[in-house]
Amino acid sequence: YQFEGAEASFELLIKKELGMHKRFFDLLGFRVIVSKRGGDGQPLSEATIMVRVGDRVEHTAALGNGPVNALDNALRKALEKFYPELKEVELIDYKVRVLSTREGTGATTRVLIESWDGRESWGTVGVSENIIEASWEALLDSIDYKLLKEEERGHR
């Protein structure tokens, strides 16, 4: 897929292919639940995530105004105690594009995320037939890129 607007994901991909990528954490799993009660109520999204940082496992849950926001909140909740600089990161743009229209709701989607930390912005991408997975890939790259840049600056 294309990396236009997602230069951070491209840089991470190159580093992975060259064996120069450091893993700051490992995903052990996640779950997202979207529920709605009553006809007029707002949907509620909850994400549960389990990650390993070094030899510690963090299992957290968080709410959000949608499934991607809930995942973002849960991931930050799990990682900020190890990487407090993630508190600086804001997701400032989120775009979804359908890549294959013939499959209808089963179409492949491309998610672009733009993030900002008060100094610079960067773009990341995820592609999947599952919009949550595509969003997750872009979100992970955003966090990974921030941690990589902090380490390159000598802050890690």
Residue 3 has a pLDDT of 66
For the segment 91-135, what is each residue's pLDDT rounded down to a tens digit?
Answer: 999 999 888 777 777 788 899 999 999 999 999 999 999 999 999
Instruction: Say if residues 23 and 12 touch (Cβ distance below 8 Å).
Output: no
Strands 56-64 and 44-53: antiparallel
pTM of the shown model: 0.86
Residue 21 backbone dihedrals phi, psi, to 5 degrees: -95, 125
Q: 65-77, pLDDT tens digit by residue?
A: 999 999 999 999 9
- Residues 1-56: tens digit of each pLDDT: 566 778 888 888 888 888 888 889 999 999 999 998 777 778 899 999 999 999 99
Domains and CATH numbers, the chain: 1-22+84-156 (3.30.160.340), 25-82 (3.30.160.270)
